[in-house]
Structure 1
Amino acid sequence: MTTRILAVLAEAATAPACLDAAEAAARALQDATIEALHVIVDPHALIAPSEEISYQELRELYEGSAQERAANTHRAFERWQKSHPHPVPQIPLKWKEMVGAEQATLINEARDFDILVLARAKNVDGVDALHAAIYETGLPFILVPSEWRLLAGTTFGERIVVAWNGTQACRKAVSGASPWLREAKDIIVLTVEEDGTPIEFFSEIIAVDQAQIQIRHVRRDRSESLGSQLLHKVHAYGADLLVMGAYRHNQFIEWLVGNTTRQVLANMDIPLIGAH
Structure 2
Amino acid sequence: MVKDMIVHLDGSERDDIALAHGEALAAQFEARLVGLYTNVFQTRFMPADLGGGTSADIIADILDQARRAGDDTEHRLRQRFELLRSDCELRRVDGSEGDLVQAVAHYARCHDIMIMLRPYGEDRPRWVQLTEAALFAGGRSVYLVPPAMPAPSRLDTVVVAWRDTFESTRAIAEAMPFLKRAASVILAAVEDPEEEGEDAAEGLLEMARHLERHGVQITVRRLPRRGKISEMLLNECQRAAADLLVMGAYGHTRFREWILGGTTRSILSQASLPVLMAH
What's the TM-score once normalised by structure 2's chain length?
A: 0.77
The amino acid that maps onto 1:216 is R
Alpha-carbon shift at residue 213 of structure 1 (Å)? 0.7
The residue number in structure 2 matching 1:34 is 33
209, 213, 219: which is aligned to 2:215? 209
The residue number in structure 1 matching 2:181 is 183
Q: 1:118 to 1:243 in 2, by over 3 A?
A: same
The residue number in structure 2 matching 1:262 is 265
Q: In 2, distance between residues paired with 1:93 and 1:72?
A: 17
149, 155, 160: which is aligned to 1:162? 160
The residue number in structure 2 matching 1:92 is 87
Q: In 2, distance between residues paired with 1:22 and 1:107?
A: 18
User: Match of 2:41, SS?
Assistant: coil
Alpha-carbon shift at residue 269 of structure 1 (Å)? 1.3
The residue number in structure 2 matching 1:46 is none
Q: In 1, distance between residues paired with 2:102 and 2:146?
A: 24
Residue deviations 1:49-102 (CA, integer Å, cap 9, x gap): x74756xx99x99xx8464256336525634653xx42xxxx411111122321
Q: 1:66 to 1:171 in 2, by over 3 A?
A: farther
Check the 8 A contact 1:38/1:98 in 2, yes or no: yes
User: Match of 1:28, SS?
Assistant: helix
Unaligned runs of 5+ in 1: 44-49
Q: 1:146 to 1:94 in 2, by over 3 A?
A: same
Alpha-carbon shift at residue 234 of structure 1 (Å)? 0.5
Aligned residues: 251
Q: In 2, distance between residues paired with 1:189 and 1:217?
A: 8
Alignment of 1:67-82 (within 5 A): 67-68=68-69, 71-72=72-73, 75-76=76-77, 78-79=79-80, 81-82=82-83
237, 242, 255: which is aligned to 1:239? 242
Q: 1:42 to 1:259 in 2, by over 3 A?
A: closer
Alpha-carbon shift at residue 275 of structure 1 (Å)? 0.8
Q: In 1, distance between residues paired with 2:149 and 2:78?
A: 15
Q: In 1, distance between residues paired with 2:160 and 2:270?
A: 17
Unaligned runs of 5+ in 2: 48-57
Q: Which has the larger radius of gyration?
A: 2
Alpha-carbon shift at residue 129 of structure 1 (Å)? 1.8
103, 112, 115: which is aligned to 1:114? 112
Alignment of 1:17-56 (within 5 A): 17-29=17-29, 31-43=30-42, 51=44
Q: In 1, distance between residues paired with 2:2 and 2:229?
A: 36
Q: In 2, distance between residues paired with 1:168 and 1:37?
A: 29
The residue number in structure 2 matching 1:7 is 7
Matched-pair identity in %: 26
The residue number in structure 2 matching 1:130 is 131
Check the 8 A contact 1:159/1:239 in 2, yes or no: yes
